[in-house]
Amino acid sequence: MSWIEWYNTLEKPAWTPAPTVIGQIWGMLYPILFLSLAFVLIQAIRGKLPWKVLIPFGINLVANLIFTPIQFGLRNLPLASLDILLIWVTILWMIVAVWKFSRWVAVVQVPYFVWVSIATVLQLTITWKNW
């Protein structure tokens, strides 16, 4: 069974966005995330930010990249729920860590945080309904 066939068999809340909408939202967020991560990395290389500011960005990147394989490859809803909670926490950590060095980088994380907050509630609800 393909990932979309499997996903369509899951019990989901009525407010679940269509997969195409979810893809479009990520399509808008990924360039912002890439630019802010690149900026933070360059500033760390230049010595204008401490390297430790990169830690939440790195953890977030890895957690974000492994979500899809966990959710749709392994089809492991509880593990995907833990992963998205880690993503959510690291976004807050990213904002706090970078705030005093680059406010624009912190502020551009807000749409990401809002979307991941919605996605987290969705993921937790799907996991609960399909446990």
CB 105 within 8 A of CB 36: yes
pLDDT tens by residue, 9-19: 999 999 999 99
Average pLDDT, the chain: 97
DSSP 110-125: HHHHHHHHHHHHHHHH
- pLDDT > 90 in the chain, percent: 98
pLDDT tens by residue, 16-61: 999 999 999 999 999 999 999 999 999 999 999 999 999 999 999 9
What whole-number distance in Å separates Cα of residue 64 and Cα of residue 91? 11
Find the mean pLDDT for residues 72-98. 98
Domain boundaries, the chain: 20-129
The pLDDT of residue 18: 93
